[in-house]
């Protein structure tokens, strides 16, 4: 977590499971903030396997660039068949069989360990495209960035890190994280000033919220909860939130007008402008929590 709150905040939005409304909240919050901070809000869509924030924000994409990793090419004329490259590869992307050395680029993580341990310099690292970055601006002048992992590639982290590099210290950054609590989510949430955890009041929602809260705490990223599709009181979730001292930043009811707006590709503000104040208040609560945390002396 960053120690200074003088600059604009970086807020990640995550969920322990898909379908809770994480992207809806990310985009709604950005649209609300840009009204108060014109030209100083950006959305960083880090759900690189299925990015879809562009559906809600409708940015005009003005640039695209490849994301590549370095993969090994073996010069068999210089290879001494020591097999060190195969032994050091943790993902099985290179195999030494007799006098042959086989490389499997689709499995490669691009760590460079094989080239590092090769005693004869027989391994040359070559770029391999694994994804794409896109940059544009929404009609509200939200600075928009997303990454997209190419089909067939398994390593989302390089694309996630590439799109996160677009975060500007001079702008409020809303990072839309991938669902779940595995490595892609952790890479997206890492270094955030705060993480909004979107959940729903169901047994599945609570089970996944527990995992998401535990993950944020292990990463030392402060978090609060946003309850989506709230309906009848769910005492088990209320008890858990009280026990853990988790703040409910905002609650959005299960309402037909919201579902209809979402089906049209619109955010909460498209459903009703009444959500503007609630979204801005959520940001203010987060800013106060971050400031208080920064003012607290370390143990």
Secondary structure (H, E, C), 228-289 = EEECCCCHHHHHHHHHHCCCEEEEEECCHHHHHHHHCCCCHHHHCCCHHHHHHHHHHHHHHH
| pLDDT (0 to 100) of residue 299 | 52
| pLDDT (0 to 100) of residue 231 | 86
> Which residues of the chain fall short of a pLDDT of 50?
1-6
Domain 69-129 has CATH 3.90.1640.10: no
Q: What residue spans in the chain does CATH classification 3.30.70.20 cover? A: 69-129
For the beta carbon of residue 262, count every other beta carbon within 10 angstroms. Answer: 18
Class of domain 10-59+139-292: alpha beta
pLDDT tens string 83-97: 999 999 999 999 999
Contact 123, 80 (CB under 8 A): no
Is the pTM higher than 0.85? yes
Cα dist. 36→57, 277, 284, 287 in Å?
17, 11, 12, 14
Q: What residue spans in the chain does CATH classification 3.40.50.300 cover? A: 10-59+139-292
pLDDT tens string 268-294: 999 999 999 999 999 999 999 999 888
Angle at Cα 27 formed by Cα 249 and Cα 184, nearest 5°?
85
Contact 93, 154 (CB under 8 A): no
């Amino acid at each position: 977590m960053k120690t200074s709150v003088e600059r604009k905040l970086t807020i990640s939005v995550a969920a322990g499971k898909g379908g809770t409304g994480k992207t809806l909240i990310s985009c709604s919050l950005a649209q609300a903030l840009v009204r108060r901070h014109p030209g100083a809000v950006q959305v960083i869509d880090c759900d690189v396997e299925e990015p879809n924030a562009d559906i809600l924000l409708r940015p005009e994409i003005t640039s695209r660039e490849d994301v590549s990793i370095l993969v090994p090419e073996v010069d068999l004329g210089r290879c001494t068949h020591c097999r060190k490259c195969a032994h050091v590869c943790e993902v099985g992307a290179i195999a030494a069989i007799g006098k042959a050395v086989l490389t499997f680029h689709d499995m490669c993580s691009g760590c460079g360990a094989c080239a590092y341990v090769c005693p004869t310099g027989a391994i040359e690292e070559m770029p391999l495209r694994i994804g794409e970055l896109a940059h544009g601006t929404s009609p509200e002048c939200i600075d928009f960035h997303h990454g997209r992992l190419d089909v067939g590639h398994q390593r989302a982290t390089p694309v996630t890190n590439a799109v996160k590099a677009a975060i500007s210290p001079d702008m409020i950054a809303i990072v839309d994280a991938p669902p779940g609590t595995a490595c892609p989510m952790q890479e997206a949430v890492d270094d955030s000033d705060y993480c909004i955890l979107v959940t729903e009041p169901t047994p599945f929602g609570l089970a996944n919220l527990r995992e998401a809260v535990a993950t944020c705490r292990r990463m030392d990223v402060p978090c609060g909860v946003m309850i989506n599709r709230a309906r009848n009181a769910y005492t088990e979730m209320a008890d858990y939130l009280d026990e853990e001292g988790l703040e409910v930043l905002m609650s959005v009811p299960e309402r037909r007008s919201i579902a209809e707006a979402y089906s049209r590709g619109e955010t909460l503000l498209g459903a009703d402008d009444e959500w503007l104040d609630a979204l801005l208040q959520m940001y203010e609560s987060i800013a106060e929590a971050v400031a208080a945390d920064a003012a607290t002396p370390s143990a």
